[in-house]
Amino acid sequence: MPHRIPHNARQNWLSADFGQYNVPPISRLNPARNTEILPNASSRSVTVSTDSDKAKFLNSIEISLVGRPLGEIGRVRGVETTRGRLKAAIELGFPCKSALDSVHDEIVSAVSEAFGADDVEIALSTRIRRHGVQRNLQPIPGVKNLIAVASGKGGVGKSTVAVNIALALAAEGASVGVLDADIYGPSQPQMLGLVGEVPESEDGKTMLPLRAHGLQMMSIGALVDPDQPMVWRGPMVTSALNQLANQTNWDDLDYLIVDMPPGTGDIQLTLAQKIPVSGSVIVTTPQTIATLDARKGLAMFRKTQIPVFGVVENMATHICSNCGHEDTVFGEGGADEIVEDFGVRLLGRLPLDSRIREQTDSGNPTVVATPDSAIAAAYRQTAWNIAAAQAAERLDHSAKFGNIVVEGGQ
């Protein structure tokens, strides 16, 4: 039977030895698109002779939801053609349950227009696969993809962004967890309404994640009293993070969203060197003071060979609840400069709104509190862009191979 960690033993667990805000999807030309295979595909009037060529055309279709070609974020599993009919099975690599019908219709329309087919049958499904991590590390058991959400600077709303992105991915059909990596200032228990909840253990060695709103969550805040400061030096902090990540029994997660602390110090270095990360996201506000540190955070991930999916600009605009006037309280253009200078994508622009603070403080973040609101739609679009960026990264094939043992000859 699972047993609860005794209240007075919580700290000992971590021992010293251990859509008005949306960013329009970025349209990107596909240089290979139809220039060799379909010379006149720009007019959507072509004749292609083989199923292979049709599959290549399908891969070239840009999915407007995320501004990426299908072949980058999914796979064509099979194509069959008969006279006047085309049948294909397509697998998307990111969750988009609420938009699946529109993506399906977009593909059907493109195929019908290109080939003049009277009957187009597209079987569209999603499958989230495990992607590559740092080459010297193995993925965490039970976790397909680990995405670090970082800022470089405190006070930009990174934790609020992280939890709402996680909730949006879960609402779209993914299995999602949140790891609160801010050892000194954990906030996810409060944001998810889990204050006072303590993780259980089935074996006395590992922990079961806490659960709320369909998410799995682990935080140092669940193991110590809320008012207790963590007066720890770097080695203790990094050991704690390792234990939280690796001694939690994550239950078959598609994504583990890591809410990173600000800065580029011990925690960030531990994440890069010892925890398998499949990608990262930088959160900033538009103001120069915030973007200065965001740039450093982005450069750090680049230096440690961790893919940077792009930048989320938080608190981009404020709309007055009384008169509807839109104001750029923290300036504008900061995230755009990072995008241009570093050659990454702008994943989303999110608003400054008092309702976000009220809902998150109450343990009921915006995506679950008001799922049909424009603010929730902005988080959802940002989540789609992040998940699509992950789908475009290299896959992890390590699970296909066993351990290779080289024995010396006699």
CA–CA separation, 48 vs 281, rounded Å?
40
Measured on CA atoms in the order 58, 63, 67, 71, is the torsion positive or negative?
A: negative
Q: What percent of the chain stands above pLDDT 90?
A: 58
Q: Pick the residue with more confidence: 407 or 117?
A: 117
CB distance 168 to 99 below 8 Å: no
CATH class of 41-126: alpha beta
User: So what's the pLDDT on residue 31?
Assistant: 37
Higher pLDDT, 403 or 253: 253
For residues 276-302, average pLDDT: 92
Q: How much is the pTM?
A: 0.85
Q: Which regions of the chain carry the CATH code 3.30.300.130?
A: 41-126
Query: Check: CATH 3.20.20.70 for 130-396?
Result: no
Q: Give yes or no for residue 396 having a pLDDT over 70.
A: yes
The answer on pLDDT for 374 being more than 70 is: yes
| Predicted pLDDT of residue 337 | 92
Task: Give the C-alpha distances (Å, rounded to integers) separating 276 from 86, 147, 297, 376, 398.
Answer: 41, 9, 18, 30, 13
The predicted-structure confidence for 229-251, as pLDDT tens digits, reads as follows 777 887 888 899 999 999 999 99
Asked if residue 398 has pLDDT above 70, the reply is: no
Task: In the chain, list all ranges with CATH 3.40.50.300.
Answer: 130-396
* pLDDT value of residue 117: 73
Confidence (pLDDT) at 324: 75
The mean pLDDT of 382-388, rounded to a whole number, is 98
Beta bridge mates, 282 = 150, 311
Query: In this predicted model, what pLDDT tens digit does every residue of 35-69 receive, in sequence order?
Result: 333 434 444 444 444 678 888 999 999 999 999 99
Question: Quick one: which of 387, 383, 326 has its CA closest to 351?
Answer: 326
**Is residue 7 predicted with pLDDT exceeding 80?**
no
What's residue 399's pLDDT?
A: 53
